[in-house]
Amino acid sequence: MIVFEHVAKRYAGGVQALSDVNFRLEPGEMAFLTGHSGAGKSTLLRLIALLERPSRGQVLFEGRNVGRLSRRQIPALRRRVGVIFQDHKLLTDRTVFDNVALPLHIAGLSFAEIKRRVGAALDQVGLREKSGMQVPVLSGGEQQRVGIARAIVAKPPLLLADEPTGNLDPALSEELMRLFCTLNELGTTVLIATHDLYLVRQLGRRTLVLDHGRMVDDTVPGAPRTMGPEVLR
């Protein structure tokens, strides 16, 4: 699903965000990406969704070199990757329904189909009854779940989450993580950037560790629950 080969990212101004990162994420896998703040977690996710282009090396998604895609090909890539942002990136002047429906409107689905799928996605995150509400009246956790519903509504094969539990209390965080595990069990590949090491340890999934832009660890603590292939390294 995702392959990083000798990937480096240097921002204008000389900040080296990633250097020589190598890893592989198989279809159906679920992994956490951890590390101190500024270690390059967000940059790594941004390279996959082509919000940035790598300075060196290649990022493959479904066998295609993402860095080489032309501008015209970017939208098609992003429709196959659901991204959940720490700051939600919701349209604050729209209802919950309209926010979740956005990717389906872009795909040009009929309203009946959109209604059905949005309803299903909101069911999954437990927000069906808040469908008609405006985003700003929701709590932080609810807004985060709206973001998740939007990311999964078009059923992308890959889900990326950047600090999805950033501002949530522990109970809510755990609930969210369970939701990601459920989605993974339904077949979606999931990569979650987080510094919530307690939760990561508790869930016992594959964990990639970044330190100052370098991949320093790639482990499966405890008994891995995934049936996917062994970690390649």
Partner 1 sequence: MSRAGSMQAGLRGWFRRHAYSLFSSIGALVRAPVASGMTVGVLAIALCLPLGLYTALANLNAMNTDLERLESISVFLDTDLDATGARRLASSLATSPDVLTVDPISPDAGMRELAGATGLDDLELGEVPLPWVLEVTPAREGDVGGLAGRLRALDGIDQVIVDLGWLRRLEALLGVFARLVELVAVLFGLAVLFVIANTIRAEIQSRHEEIEVMALVGATPAWIRRPFLYAGFWMGLLGGLGAWLLVQAGLWMLAGPVRELGASYGTPASLQAPPAALIVGLVVGSGVLGIAGAAVAVSRQIHRINP
Give the C-alpha separation, 21 to 57, whole Å. 9
Residues forming beta bridges with residue 219, ordered by sequence position: 207
Contact track, partner 1, 11-50, x by CB under 8 A: --------------------------------------xx
Shorter beta-carbon distance to partner 1: residue 45 or 208: 45
Q: Is 76 in the site for partner 1 (CB under 8 A)?
A: yes
Q: Is 158 in the site for partner 1 (CB under 8 A)?
A: no
Q: Is 150 in the site for partner 1 (CB under 8 A)?
A: yes
Among 79, 116, 178, 233, the residue binding partner 1 under the rule CB under 8 A is 79
Nearest alpha carbon to residue 163 among 154, 151, 173: 173
Based on the number of CB atoms within 10 Å of its own CB, is 90 exposed (0-12), middle (13-18) or buried (19 or more)? buried
Shorter beta-carbon distance to partner 1: residue 41 or 46: 46
Write out the binding residues for partner 1, residues 208-227 only, by CB under 8 A: none
For the CA atoms of 19, 198, 155, 145, what is the dihedral angle to 10 degrees? Answer: -120
Number of residues forming the site for partner 1 (CB under 8 A): 29
What are the two backbone dihedrals, phi and then psi, of residue 142, each rounded to the nearest 5 degrees? Answer: -65, -40
Q: How far is CA 53 from CA 8, 10, 73, in A?
A: 10, 10, 13
Shorter beta-carbon distance to partner 1: residue 109 or 120: 109
* Residues of this chain that bind partner 1 (CB under 8 A): 49-53, 71, 74-79, 83, 85, 89-91, 93, 102-103, 105-111, 150, 154
